[in-house]
């Protein structure tokens, strides 16, 4: 049985915590930042955690 390959795009964009939570960046933080308020940019900065179906699909693509 061959090994399952890790999806390279997912590997670069996602981090899995020690407890198994999937952490990834908020959307809408790449461009057109001048029109967004400072409070909105601060709220969108950093990582957000996902669970449920999204976490299951990400872990499957990472081979975890």
- For residue 31, tell me if it sits in a domain: no
Residue 7: give the domain boundaries: 1-25+38-64
User: Does residue 11 carry a pLDDT above 90?
Assistant: yes
Q: What is the pLDDT of residues 17-36, one digit of tens each?
A: 999 899 999 999 999 999 99
- For residue 8, tell me if it sits in a domain: yes
- For residue 18, tell me if it sits in a domain: yes
- For residue 55, tell me if it sits in a domain: yes
**pTM for the whole structure:** 0.75
Domain total of the chain: 1
User: Does residue 45 carry a pLDDT above 90?
Assistant: yes
Where are the strands (E) in the chain, listed by range? 14-16, 22-25, 47-50
Structure token pair of residue 1: 């049985």
- For residue 32, tell me if it sits in a domain: no
Percentage above 70 pLDDT, the chain:
100
- For residue 33, tell me if it sits in a domain: no
Task: Give the torsion sign (CA, 2, 8, 12, 16).
Answer: negative
Quickly state the pLDDT bin for 41 (edges 50, 70, 90): very high
Pairing mode, strands 14-16 and 47-50: unpaired
User: Does residue 4 carry a pLDDT above 90?
Assistant: no
């Amino acid at each position: 049985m061959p090994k399952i390959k890790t999806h390279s795009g997912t590997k670069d964009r996602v981090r899995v915590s020690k407890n198994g939570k999937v952490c990834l960046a908020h959307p809408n933080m790449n461009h057109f930042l001048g029109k967004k308020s400072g409070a909105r940019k601060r709220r969108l900065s950093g990582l957000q955690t996902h669970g449920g179906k999204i976490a299951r699909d990400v872990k499957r693509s990472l081979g975890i």
